[in-house]
Amino acid sequence: MPHDGHRYELVDGVLTVSPSPRPLHQRAILRLIMALEPHCPEELEILPAPVDVVLAEDTVLIPDIVIARTVDWTDRGLFGPPVLAVEVFSPSTRRFDLELKRARMQAAGCPNYWVVDPDEPALRCWHLREDRYVEVAFARGTESVTLSEPFTVTLSPADLVSLRRR
């Protein structure tokens, strides 16, 4: 793929193209990684996009944040589902992230899928139970939520978009 500032993903053999993210989107990614990193166990690694998550020969996704077992990473990316995939909404990706990507991660067996809405701000988290995602947490604005999967961490959506580091 060309290095033109766009994100290219392959879903069921169909190439999708997304525009470059906004600063608010990137800030939310950075703040979330900063919040997760101190709590992440040594056997897991957190990486920001772009890294390939190959779910099938015809499905390669690029979540905004991927947490996977360190031993599962290859030189090319991750083959199979991560432990956690996080998407930060952009105006052009909201539906894609919430519906299609979430469905593909669920079908692949990704145990945890989170979405961040930086405009609201809000955080919604699902955990895989009996092959279906069940919502385990939702927080809006300055509300905090404590999650136990894939490791224990407390997050506030407002902190994820704050101009100042917490």
Render pLDDT for 145-159 as a digit per residue (tens, 0 to 9). 999 999 999 999 999
Q: What is the distance between the alpha carbons of residues 51 and 67, in angstroms, rounded to a whole number?
A: 11
Q: What is the distance between the alpha carbons of residues 20 and 13, in angstroms, rounded to a whole number?
A: 22
Q: The tokens of 126 are what? A: 């699902």
Q: What is the pLDDT of residue 13?
A: 83
Question: H/E element holding 133?
Answer: strand 132-140
Q: What is the pLDDT of residue 22?
A: 86
Q: Residues in the chain with pLDDT < 70? A: 1-7, 9, 18-19, 165-166
Q: What is the pLDDT of residue 5?
A: 61
Q: What is the pLDDT of residue 124?
A: 98
Q: What is the pLDDT of residue 112?
A: 98
Q: What is the pLDDT of residue 2?
A: 59
Is residue 48 within 8 Å of residue 63, measured between CB atoms?
no
Q: What is the pLDDT of residue 33?
A: 98
In this structure, how many other beta carbons lie within 10 angstroms of the beta carbon of residue 121?
A: 23
pTM over 0.95: no
Is residue 68 within 8 Å of residue 41, measured between CB atoms?
no
Q: What is the pLDDT of residue 92?
A: 78
